[in-house]
Amino acid sequence: MKRRKLLLAGLGMPALLGQEAKKGEKLAPYYPTPETIVEKMLQLGGAKKGEKVFDLGSGDGRIVIIAAERFGAHAVGVEYDKDLYAQSSEKIRRMGLAEKARIIHGDLLQQDYTSADLITVYLLPVSNEKLRPVLEKQLKKGARVVAHDFEVGGWRPDKTEVVEDDGEGRSHTLYLYKR
Ligand SMILES: C[S@@+](CC[C@H](N)C(=O)[O-])C[C@H]1O[C@@H](n2cnc3c(N)ncnc32)[C@H](O)[C@@H]1O
């Protein structure tokens, strides 16, 4: 399969575009969301105390940790990379958040999201396309999805928020979808 490596202008996430995302495949490189943007994603998604929040492709666990610590959510990350899974799980344990936060080591396309109130994603466009039918099948009415920088193709956002400068000169676009 032919791979085209592109750096998406203004977005900063090195992307493998034009590549078919198969089950179990790496759906995005590790590229963390700045903490200021994490807060905005959770605010835009209306994260509330006691709600179930999932971050799909949770990296170092920052969205899960902030959702649990600052928003009082029950937060779950799904991370495929063994080291990121181990590091983020250890951080959650060290911070004493284990009752409210956890990381699943696995493929984000193969999990159960039927209990989710809010889903956050920072994945490539082709990966969001792969994820869409999974979420359409599983998400309950009233669940929300917030996508960072890349839209979920085929869905119309209920709200779009642009953050012109994250403090480091990068702009970010957040898309809110309500089921
Ligand atoms: C762009 S990073 C986003 C990290 C985090 N959500 C954030 O916003 O800071 C994408 C993450 O998805 C993970 N990932 C890629 N493919 C995956 C898959 N099939 N299942 C679970 N995680 C995956 C990567 O290892 C990486 O940590």
Which structural domains are found in the chain, ordered by start?
Answer: 4-178 (3.40.50.150)
Cα gap 87→139, rounded to integer Å: 29
pLDDT at 6: 36
- pTM across the whole model: 0.89
> In ligand 1, which atom is closest to the CA atom of 81?
25
Strand partners of residue 14? 7
Residue 100 in tokens: 């409210």
| Best probe residue, ligand 1, of 19, 105, 108, 166 (max atoms within 8 Å of C-beta) | 108
> In ligand 1, which atom is closest to the CA atom of 28?
15
> In ligand 1, which atom is closest to the CA atom of 13?
1
- Indicate which residue's Cα is closest to atom 19 of ligand 1: 107
Q: Which residue type sits at 24?
A: G
pLDDT at 21: 35
Mean pLDDT by 10 residues, the chain (179 residues): 36 42 75 96 98 98 98 98 97 98 97 98 96 98 98 97 94 97
**Do 125 and 104 meet the contact criterion of CB atoms below 8 Å apart?**
no
pLDDT at 25: 86
- Indicate which residue's Cα is closest to atom 8 of ligand 1: 33
pLDDT at 71: 98
Q: Which residue from 5, 41, 34, 40 is spatially nearest to 124, judged by alpha carbons?
A: 5
Cα gap 6→74, rounded to integer Å: 36
**Do 102 and 89 meet the contact criterion of CB atoms below 8 Å apart?**
yes
Number of H helices, E strands in the chain: 4, 9
- Ligand 1-lining residues (CB < 6 angstroms): 13, 26-28, 30-33, 55, 57-59, 62-63, 78-81, 84, 107-108, 122
In degrees rounded to 5, what are phi and psi of residue 53? -115, 130
